[in-house]
Amino acid sequence: MKKICPFGTHRVIAPNGALPQSSDQLDNTMICQKNEILIDVLTLNIDSASFAQIKSSCDNDEVKIKEMIISIVSKRGKMQNPITGSGGMLLGTVSEIGSDLQVDLKKGDKIVTLVSLSLTPLKIDQIIKLHLDKDQVDIIGQAILFQSGIYAKIPNDLPADIVLSALDVAGAPAQVEKLVQPGNDVLIIGAGGKSGLLCAYQARKSVGIHGHVYGLIYDISELEDLKSLSVCDEIIIADARIPMNVYDLVLNASEGRKMDVTINVVNVPNTEMASILPTKDNGIVYFFGMATSFSKAALGAEGIKSEATMMIGNGYTKNHDQLTLNLLRESKILYDLFKKRYGSRDYHVKTQ
């Protein structure tokens, strides 16, 4: 193995000089180097855009889905969808800590990694169970967390399965907290999904009594859940792949006002213009979903003379894990929605 590097370049097999995320293949030999943490993996939480693509290409056939996941990891040494380029994150138990690391962990601690599976060396011995409605896969396997990698320990007051689901998208509500100001008009595209619920809740906190939050959903089955949260001034049902329809519906709901901030958290492609069109020229568009096309967003904005600031959805911002978990702690309704969707009595991981 190459000289060890805090960013994990010593695990890169190809191409030469690449960082782990952009590499084609990683060395997934599960021998813990002195600047690494070895994890016994319990569950993979696969990125929503990635899992949607895998399920679609396999016609929701569980056998084919398992085969595809194992094939990707076997070839690449990591769980990085070759179509979407995205990964996800994992829940596991600390097995070994490298001698050079000074971390607040001990063997046996349950942790969630807060870096992408697209840069995490991973080896799957067996897939135990697929949770198609949760984008999760229970496995027997191991993974490596690099020195530069971040993680969160499972807290005692929240179930591990709910923590895993929430922290998968922790960057989104944390960015909302940074971007949205009191009095803003905010549009959440994909407001009924996992990240959408968290973002809508945080947006309502941030805009205050003089601001407005508009939630756009495609799946009408999400309507009652979003309504129960009571954070949206209006809920719009529309297909974000039809931008002019979204534009008309949003401006009708807002009485002609364009948005100060638009948050896109959907997991399907071709929703860039539905985000840009209803946003002010001096507004902000935050693309969190991994299905976003940079070229479509940039060239599309140019085509309509929009000067909106467009931000790539970085999944990390300082203290994003604690902010997100605190949202679940402070809102029983939000917590209950996550428990209904992502909790499970027979889930194989239990907090101590």
- The pLDDT score that the predictor gives to residue 289 is 85
Angular region, 255: left φ>0, alpha ψ -120 to 50, beta rest: left
For residues 40 and 118, membership in a common domain is answered with yes
For residues 145 and 251, membership in a common domain is answered with no
- The pLDDT score that the predictor gives to residue 198 is 98
**Residue 37 located in a structural domain:** yes
pTM: 0.90
Strand partners for 145: 37
For residues 100 and 70, membership in a common domain is answered with yes
- Indicate the SS3 state at residue 169: coil
State which of 123, 153, 183 marks the end of a domain. 153
**Residue 339 located in a structural domain:** no
For residue 73, give the nearest of 31, 123, 30 by alpha carbon.
123
248, with CB counted inside 10 A (0-12, 13-18, 19+), is middle
For residues 147 and 196, membership in a common domain is answered with no
For residues 146 and 86, membership in a common domain is answered with yes
**Residue 327 located in a structural domain:** no
* Cα(283)–Cα(276) distance, integer angstroms: 9
For residues 13 and 147, membership in a common domain is answered with yes
For residues 204 and 136, membership in a common domain is answered with no
**Residue 143 located in a structural domain:** yes
For residues 146 and 241, membership in a common domain is answered with no
**Residue 336 located in a structural domain:** no
Strand partners for 123: 142
**Residue 326 located in a structural domain:** no
For residue 274, give the nearest of 299, 252, 247, 293 by alpha carbon.
247
DSSP summary character for residue 246 = H
For residues 33 and 139, membership in a common domain is answered with yes
| Pair 137, 44: CB distance under 8 Å | yes
**Residue 163 located in a structural domain:** no
Strand partners for 237: 217
- The pLDDT score that the predictor gives to residue 313 is 86
Mean pLDDT by 10 residues, the chain (352 residues): 90 96 97 97 94 95 97 98 94 97 95 96 97 94 96 94 94 96 98 97 98 97 97 98 98 98 95 98 94 94 97 89 97 96 59 34
306: CATH? 3.40.50.720
Query: How many folded domains does the chain comprise?
Result: 2
For residues 138 and 226, membership in a common domain is answered with no
What is the total residue count of the chain? 352
* Cα(133)–Cα(91) distance, integer angstroms: 17
For residues 292 and 178, membership in a common domain is answered with yes
For residues 148 and 20, membership in a common domain is answered with yes
State which of 120, 153, 186 marks the end of a domain. 153
- The pLDDT score that the predictor gives to residue 347 is 40
* Cα(250)–Cα(189) distance, integer angstroms: 11
* Cα(287)–Cα(26) distance, integer angstroms: 28
State which of 95, 126, 153 marks the end of a domain. 153
The residues, ordered by sequence, that sit 6+ positions from 210 with a Cβ below 8 Å of its Cβ are 182, 183
Q: Measured between alpha carbons, how far apart are the two ends of the chain, in Å?
A: 37
Range of the domain at 301: 171-312
